[in-house]
Structure 1
């Protein structure tokens, strides 16, 4: 796996027996993203797909929207460790001449605020509204079955090759409206995993992803909902809970937001019009159940 994993010694205790052996861990290293040579952001990530990560990050910030907006991406040769070896932990993105120069200072403030404590609600929603390149089509996709959604978590988990070795990674996957796995990426950060799949799609000229479903392995935060909207993805599903601001954004942008997707159970927080729901009688009976208690039970199992 190269730099994706690392080996470290560990003392294991199993049923009273003590042993020492090497353990496989997921690698975590900083990635500095520069824009035209100017430092913009630093994120802790699992090395790999760094150019896609940087592209997806810029898509979510409204700086770029397609492959033609980027003139080039390269690792910075001046980024070296204390021994003088090249680290490959700094990338520089050069925008195409037709792309307006972004407000670097404003982007730096947004990145810092989002990563540390969250933007205030109205400002966050306004920011996405003013920078989103595409409106989500309310008619696409249509009739997505809940049975199809129910199969996505297991399919996402089965595609997590590095998780099998380390147990320490989040994942994001793109599926077609018919359930075909289009791409999957892993990273120590759930935001980075989404940036990687969005960035790869952008570099392939596939944005907007008007008929895609985005499945994530953890919570559905505002930032993940934002990334889905900015990439034109109409459906976001998560195995755990969404935040209140994620639901607000989903309702305003027309995003279908599904949480606590586990087996045949799920909570639909917004955009149910895209889904083929069970018969009305079954839906009516289910509405009598307090979904809040289900969410409370599910949240106790959240792992990241």
Structure 2
């Protein structure tokens, strides 16, 4: 959507039309019961509903019966139908979520819920630093919404020469959309997750829940993200841009070994 704006540059003022990114409240509704409300870009919402369901541990793929995206007066409802046994299990532990911010969790009742258990992923996939950087270089051209607005993140799946991209105002939402798309396509988990953001602990946790073996972010990871990646067997990469990247965990997935006598566990290339 375009909006009239004033641009000041080099002492000159000019009127121009600027494209703005849309965001809307999206309610995740399971078997008629609202579970969470997220602010998201209103595109690829079926992928978003599926990915959120999977990465939040609400249900497995085979337990999802149907997804319907329904515009309502206040926003959008993503109506997910689960098999009855899974819905009853969800109700037993149900808590009302107000959604996530970029740096915290809302609606968590106990500290243990903030850091749920993370299991090692079952994958022996490996790649090279050059392949990761080449994929990241391709990503900018595969983000039409960001090219138009400059206001959204992208999550991309690099599998061979194929790059699958989902965009959203929220990096977590973009990743959920991507996971949903991969699940719907029955895509194998032999590839690299590319993120146009920092690598937060939640990004790593969602990647682990989806079985993604390598996570590469354009910016830095957090200490907790590195710890979770080490536990999960994920190669976590930061600062993947240009001709450089830094590997913080499981460098063997990129065919790298630490330099003897190095003072840090990170490996830069």
Distance 1:249 1:39 in 2: 30
Distance 1:158 1:205 in 2: 25
Aligned-residue offset at 1:250: 0.7
> Is the CA contact 1:214–1:233 (under 8 Å) kept in the aligned structure 2?
yes
Alignment partner, residue 26 of structure 1: 21
Q: Higher helix proportion, which one?
A: 1
For structure 2, the residue ranges without an aligned partner over 5 or more in a row are: none
Distance 1:260 1:102 in 2: 40
Mapping 1:192-271, distance limit 5 Å: 192-206=173-187, 209-271=188-250
Deviations 1:151-201 (A, max 9, x none): 22211111111111111110010011x3x2341011110011100010111
Alignment partner, residue 62 of structure 1: 57
Distance 1:262 1:286 in 2: 26
> Is the CA contact 1:65–1:202 (under 8 Å) kept in the aligned structure 2?
no
Residue aligned with 1:251, SS: helix
Count matched residues.
264
Residue aligned with 1:33, SS: strand
Aligned-residue offset at 1:284: 2.8
Distance 1:33 1:122 in 2: 23
Distance 1:39 1:220 in 2: 29
> Is the CA contact 1:40–1:104 (under 8 Å) kept in the aligned structure 2?
no
- Larger deviation, residues 236-245 vs 90-99: 90-99
Alignment partner, residue 46 of structure 1: 41
Alignment partner, residue 299 of structure 1: none
1:75 to 2:69 alignment: yes
Deviations 1:220-261 (A, max 9, x none): 111111111111111111011111111111111111111111
Distance 1:57 1:99, change over 3 A: same
**Which of the numbers 8, 11, 32 marks the counterpart of 2:6?**
11
Aligned-residue offset at 1:289: 8.2
1:151 to 2:134 alignment: yes
Distance 1:290 1:69 in 2: 40
Aligned-residue offset at 1:105: 7.1
Distance 2:100 2:13 in 1: 43
Distance 2:35 2:113 in 1: 21
1:183 to 2:164 alignment: yes
The normalised TM-score by structure 1 is 0.78
**Which of the numbers 122, 131, 134 marks the counterpart of 1:137?**
122
Residue aligned with 1:10, SS: strand
Alignment partner, residue 149 of structure 2: 166
The normalised TM-score by structure 2 is 0.87
Residue aligned with 2:89, SS: coil
> Is the CA contact 1:173–1:181 (under 8 Å) kept in the aligned structure 2?
no
